[in-house]
Amino acid sequence: MSDAMARPAVTTLSEDELAFRDAVREFAEGEIKPLVVKMDEEAQMDSALIPKLFEMGLMGIESPEQYGGAGGTFFMACLAIEQLGRVDGSVSVLVDVQNTLVTNAFIRWGTDAIKQKYMPKLAREWIGAYALSESTSGSDAFALKLRAEDKGDKWVLNGSKLWITNGNEASVFLVFANMNPAAGYKGITAFIVEKGYKGFTVGKKEDKVGIRASSTCELLFENCEVPKENILGEVGKGYKIAIETLNEGRIGIGAQMIGIAQGAYDAARDYVKGREQFGKPIAQFQGIQFQLAEMRTQLEAARLMVYNAARLKDAGEDFIEQAAMAKLFSSRTAEKICSMAIDLFGGNGFTREYPVEKFWRDAKIGQIYEGTSNMQLQTIAKMELS
């Protein structure tokens, strides 16, 4: 067992972290909660909400202050994602992708010129998207068919991407394409594509079961022209960026899941206190109490795992196995807690008049995106057996 694996989870929050968490929670309750039902029904993010996310500093939490960011930590980004998920999974994943995938990648692999050009915009006005998945490359992430050709003064991309979060709202896309198929995954390169580039189109938006206000879109590249300098990292090293960024992003998804689970738990706990059957609140029945205790215990365990992985990442320690375990466990836990919440609401829980059915719908995606549960199991097993 490595030193990183042996250390216990650090759950105590500093005063700054507590203040930040509480500020995000207050923002979510005041600014997002009144919009949740409408956004879910219309499958559309409220356009007036996005500028408020930037004003709150939630779109550049780790970005250095010199680029207009908050200069915070990865752990703080996870706190924000959790608190937003407690109210709405769609807003939570928008902020998650912006911070843990897109901005994180620019911080780690961007040249000074690229950082100067893009990071202030990402911190203050531009939403980013992370474009890896294709119709034939889901769990097999490197079976990419999007092609990039070197045309001397520019790159030309042809192909498509699917299931891209923030597709409608994004102004800049981190796009993975293969410029040398004969080299396999070593031909994969990360390109920076702006929404207005010639030959680039955002296609259809998926009609999803959950996180409906989050846009999940197809991207089309038809002789899309990308400036020669718009490479993130090195040519042929995109696979490294994809792997390492997704390892970090999985902790963000874990944070989203514990937020969703917390929202469902809170709703169920409050409901059973007021719902009467047989002449008294159902919270007084031991069977109900035991279910709440089970939900609360599972939620706390998931939170410990997510927080521990985030702390390890900030400390510069090995966190890959912890990230995989945190995403695996938190996503399973979220679905279970949300389902139990519906049970506690009874017939009311199966209607859209109450919030728990939405939490349940939003939770399911956690076992699919940024690496399915089976892929997390594979990662854990490989690390244990290596």
Return phi, psi of residue 285, to 5°.
-85, 135
Give the β-pairing of 172-178 and 128-131: parallel
Please, which residues have CB within 8 angstroms of residue 285's CB and are 6 or more apart in sequence? none
CA distance 324 to 330: 10
Cα–chain-centroid distance for residue 229? 28
Q: Write the CA distances from 67 to 82, 107, 112, 121, 143, integer angstroms.
A: 25, 10, 11, 8, 35
Give the CA distances from residue 368 to residues 50, 281, 372, in Å, rounded to whole numbers and listed in that order.
Answer: 26, 37, 4
Report d(CA 67, CA 31) in Å as an integer.
Answer: 26
Question: CB–CB of 233/240 below 8 Å?
Answer: yes
In this structure, the number of other CB atoms found within 10 A of the CB of residue 166 comes to: 26
Kindly report each contact of residues 345-352 with a partner whose C-beta sits within 8 Å and lies 24 or more positions away, as own/partner.
345/267, 345/268, 345/271, 346/275, 348/271, 352/37
Q: Is 370 annotated as catalytic?
A: yes
Calpha distance 139→374 (Å, rounded): 9
Strand partners, 150: 155
Neighbouring C-alpha atoms within 13 Å toward the C-beta of 43: 11
Measured over the CA atoms of residue 105, residue 364, residue 348 and residue 264, the dihedral's sign is negative
Query: Rounded to 5, what percent of the chain is helix, strand, coil?
Result: 55, 15, 25
Q: Which of 62, 169, 248, 370 is catalytic?
A: 370
- Continuous segment of H or E residues that includes residue 342: helix 320-345
Beta-strand relationship, 172-178 and 276-277: unpaired
The residues assigned a catalytic role are 370
